[in-house]
Amino acid sequence: MRPEDVPRLFQELAREFADVTGMSVAATGSLARGDHRTGPTGDIVSNLDLIHVVADGADVPEVRAVVGRTIRRISDTFRIETTSVIAMLPAFRLAGHAHYRISMRPEWFCDGLGLGSEAFDRSGRDEDDPGAALAWMMQPVPYYLAKATVLDPTTNLAKARRAAMRLADRFDLEDMREGLDDLPGSLRTLIAEHDITPLDSTARYLATPTHPAIAQLVRDAVFVEGMGLSSADSMVIMLPSAPN
């Protein structure tokens, strides 16, 4: 897909999900933020990332079926890999500072649940814990570090460093900027100095960063924290069909 096709992509998504009931759908990730990557030919190489919020766990199987059919058409039409994740509404509301919430695109939102502007609130757990925003924004760093143990270390370590820089810039953390070569150590120092209660995914990674299953353990924890579902129940990934 070419960069000039992005507006048409979002128009098509709006059409596809306009009449869907039982869920609200938001775009997130690099395409939503406008900082997607392009390859040597100028084509977009980033995935399309979508969030589907449901109120009732009983709706998840039907939502997965609807999402699968819809994103199959989108992926084939635009020749783009699509990653959809289903989130339970209670978890979505608590995850105000989760990376996927911060990256959501307010201009594009199919709101079948009638969430309104609440969907873009950042409060989450901050009302009870002032350190919650920092703990949530820390989450992508161990996620990508753990992922780097099993998949494309160069790319995922770079993503972990970018996440750490976003964290440092957001909270003016000079030690984090200077500690990019030892991100586990920087995270431990940050937690201790700011008396943060880390999310379970962060705690799991820092406790056993070399565990052979750490990537899956951290990934599962991230999904339960942010989506209220396991990664297997939440994720629907679609690659473009092979050309005939």
**How remote is the C-alpha of 161 from its chain's centroid?**
16
149 is written with which tokens?
């143990």
Give me Rg for the CA atoms of the chain: 18
pLDDT by residue, tens only, the chain of 244 residues: 888 888 899 899 989 888 888 899 999 988 888 777 788 888 877 888 999 999 988 889 999 999 999 999 999 999 999 999 999 999 999 888 888 888 888 888 899 999 888 888 765 444 456 678 899 989 999 999 999 999 999 999 999 999 999 899 988 999 999 999 999 999 999 999 999 999 999 999 999 999 999 999 999 999 999 999 999 999 999 999 987 6
Give, as one character, the DSSP assignment of residue 76: H
Name all domains of the chain by residue range, CATH numbers in brackets: 3-121+229-238 (3.30.460), 132-225 (no CATH)
Least Cα distance to 98 among 49, 62, 133, 142 occurs for 133
Query: What is the pTM (predicted TM-score) of this model?
Result: 0.85
